[in-house]
Amino acid sequence: MAEAYDFDVLVIGAGPGGYVAAIRAAQLGLKTACAESRETLGGTCLNVGCIPSKALLHASEYYEAAAGGAMAKMGIKVTPELDLPAMHAQRIDAVKGLTGGIEFLFKKNKIEWLKGRASFESADTVKVGDRTVRAKNIVIATGSSVTPLPGVEIDEKIVVSSTGALELEKVPGHLVVIGGGVIGLELGSVWRRVGAKVTCVEFLDQILPGFDDDVRKEANKIFKKQGIEFRLGTKVTGVQVDGGKATLTVEPAKGGAAETIEADAVLVSIGRRPNTEGLALDKAGLQINQRGQIETDHDFRTSVPGVWAIGDVIPGPMLAHKAEDEGIAVAENIAGLTGIVNHDVIPSVVYTMPEIAGVGLTEAQAREHGDVKVGKFPMLANSRAKTNHEPDGFVKVIADAKTDRVLGVWMIASVAGTMVAQAAQAMEFGATSEDIAYTCHAHPTHSEALKEAAMAVLGKPIHI
């Protein structure tokens, strides 16, 4: 009864998971639609996430290089003036260009965009606005949104989520960031670079949970040196807004006396939670787990035949590239091919300066599995980083002590986000540290630090 279906595939959500799934499904010859309630395609990532944050990170980095003396050090004397509206305009332009690009790709691939919020009527029927459609396969790719902090009301003016923090109309005198994770550090860096005093309040004893401990410690030192103040092991119990200012009440995470911090703006960045509200999952016979996520098997099938899920709404790191790869895999699986994502090799990058990146196991995780060998190489000893006045950071390679197979690679370097791709590829191919150490790397490049860290695993780096 194939003709009873309106579509072979209906994707709900046009973020990096959903739009990629829709494009791949269409490329494979499946009649595809994608429901999206936003005015533009691209989801969190293109509209209010990866892209606008990188636009501001890039621009503010130039500003700081000019204002902070890094350019003068290289013989370029400038007296910069901050034009914040223009900085925002180029951010908006970047978003517009890329979201428009997805719309073009939808048209090119004959994907129908069903505009509006989707909710299930049954396991194969979905209502989008006034329209009810039946699809043979439905992919839930509804993404995630900001986790609220009890006692703290986000007004997107003084107390902002990442979305409001991307759009501040003036540089806050004092910005307090709640949460020393990826968003807090990236957007905290943006506003610090253009003149804000930034204080980061983190519940845990160290920033960047999930990253390798050496990287977390070193990153903390670097951000402190850059001027971010950290209140680690501290929790925020409330925020009061009065007369355009905020007063935060904080106390030690382990208990103790409360104190207050005054701020001109507060960024709440304590994590994100899956979007399942309003989907009427019960009508499809679906349930969420304790963390609010939709569980799937390795093929991205949910417990209900014909319903699939990918991206931030399922377990795993909330990252655009993870969502995209799952988008390709789910479409291939729907088409009867073999779509696989290796969840053990998903790189993470924090796009600060220097960048912080890692892939695979942390040293602590690797040690839980058995004996390991660790090699480290400082960027200070890398000729290109030193020449470019980028001495901060290191590369760390963790390998199995017996087999030498690389289990994890962690790094802090100005171009770590680009360098980590090589590490991910090596790990995907089952490389040993010897394989990396004996691969010829171009000179002078930051990537030579990865080669030397691999040589350090074997006990013989050249430049330290």
The residues assigned a catalytic role are: 443
Q: Which residues contact 39 (CB under 8 A, 6 or more apart)?
A: none
Count of residues interacting with ligand FAD (CB under 6 A): 36
Rule CB under 6 A: is residue 178 a binding residue for ligand NAI? yes
Site for ligand FAD in 233-272 (CB under 6 A): none
Q: Are 365 and 408 in contact (CB under 8 A)?
A: yes
Residue 202 one-letter amino acid: E
Residue of the chain from 159, 215, 270, 399 that contacts ligand NAI (CB under 6 A):
270
Rule CB under 6 A: is residue 315 a binding residue for ligand NAI? no
Residue of the chain from 269, 275, 302, 422 that contacts ligand NAI (CB under 6 A):
269
Preceding omega of 252 cis (within 30 degrees of 0): no
CA distance 224 to 220: 6
Residue of the chain from 349, 353, 455, 456 that contacts ligand NAI (CB under 6 A):
349
Counting DSSP H helices and E strands in the chain, the numbers are 15, 22
- Return the number of the residue (106 or 351) whose C-beta is nearest ligand FAD: 351
Residue of the chain from 109, 203, 247, 421 that contacts ligand NAI (CB under 6 A):
203
**From the CB of 170, what's the least distance to ligand FAD, in Å?**
20
Q: Which residue is nearest to ligand NAI (CB)?
A: 181
Preceding omega of 461 cis (within 30 degrees of 0): no
Residue 400 Cα to chain centre, angstroms: 28
- Per-residue H/E/C for 2-16: HHHCCEEEEEECCCH
Rule CB under 6 A: is residue 189 a binding residue for ligand FAD? no
When CB distances are held under 5 to 8 angstroms depending on the partner's kind, the choice from ligand FAD, ligand NAI, none that residue 44 binds is ligand FAD
CA distance 421 to 433: 16
Rule CB under 6 A: is residue 323 a binding residue for ligand NAI? no
Residue (of 143, 147, 145) closest to 311 by Cα position: 143
Show the site string, 232-261: x = touches ligand NAI by CB under 6 A, - = not.
Answer: ---xx-------------------------
When CB distances are held under 5 to 8 angstroms depending on the partner's kind, the choice from ligand FAD, ligand NAI, none that residue 113 binds is none
Residue of the chain from 53, 302, 422, 432 that contacts ligand FAD (CB under 6 A):
53
Structure tokens at 81: 């003036």
Rule CB under 6 A: is residue 184 a binding residue for ligand NAI? yes
Structure tokens at 171: 């540089």
Q: Which residues contact 402 (CB under 8 A, 6 or more apart)?
A: 370, 371
- What's phi and psi for 131, nearest 5 deg? -100, 140
Rule CB under 6 A: is residue 279 a binding residue for ligand FAD? yes
Residue 71 one-letter amino acid: M
Q: Are 187 and 53 in contact (CB under 8 A)?
A: yes
Compute and round to an integer the Cα radius of gyration of the chain: 23
Q: Are 402 and 207 in contact (CB under 8 A)?
A: no
- Return the number of the residue (48 or 431) whose C-beta is nearest ligand FAD: 48
CA distance 185 to 47: 19
Q: Which residues contact 351 (CB under 8 A, 6 or more apart)?
A: 53, 54, 57, 186, 417
**From the CB of 221, what's the least distance to ligand NAI, in Å?**
17
- Return the number of the residue (202 or 332) whose C-beta is nearest ligand NAI: 202
State whether the Cα torsion 211-216-218-224 is positive or negative: positive
Rule CB under 6 A: is residue 32 a binding residue for ligand FAD? no
Rule CB under 6 A: is residue 218 a binding residue for ligand NAI? no
When CB distances are held under 5 to 8 angstroms depending on the partner's kind, the choice from ligand NAI, ligand FAD, none that residue 164 binds is none
Structure tokens at 168: 């501040």
Rule CB under 6 A: is residue 179 a binding residue for ligand NAI? yes
Residue of the chain from 171, 204, 288, 381 that contacts ligand NAI (CB under 6 A):
204
**From the CB of 346, what's the least distance to ligand NAI, in Å?**
10
* Contact stretch for ligand FAD (CB under 6 A) within 10-18, 87-95, 398-406, 454-462: 10-18
Residue of the chain from 10, 11, 22, 45 that contacts ligand FAD (CB under 6 A):
45
**From the CB of 179, what's the least distance to ligand NAI, in Å?**
3
Rule CB under 6 A: is residue 351 a binding residue for ligand NAI? yes
Rule CB under 6 A: is residue 15 a binding residue for ligand FAD? yes
Site for ligand NAI in 29-68 (CB under 6 A): none
What count of other Cβ atoms lies within 10 Å of the Cβ of residue 173?
Answer: 13
CA distance 219 to 184: 13
Contacts to ligand FAD by CB under 6 A: 12-18, 35-38, 43-45, 49-50, 53, 117-118, 141-144, 162, 183, 275, 278-279, 311-312, 318-321, 323, 351
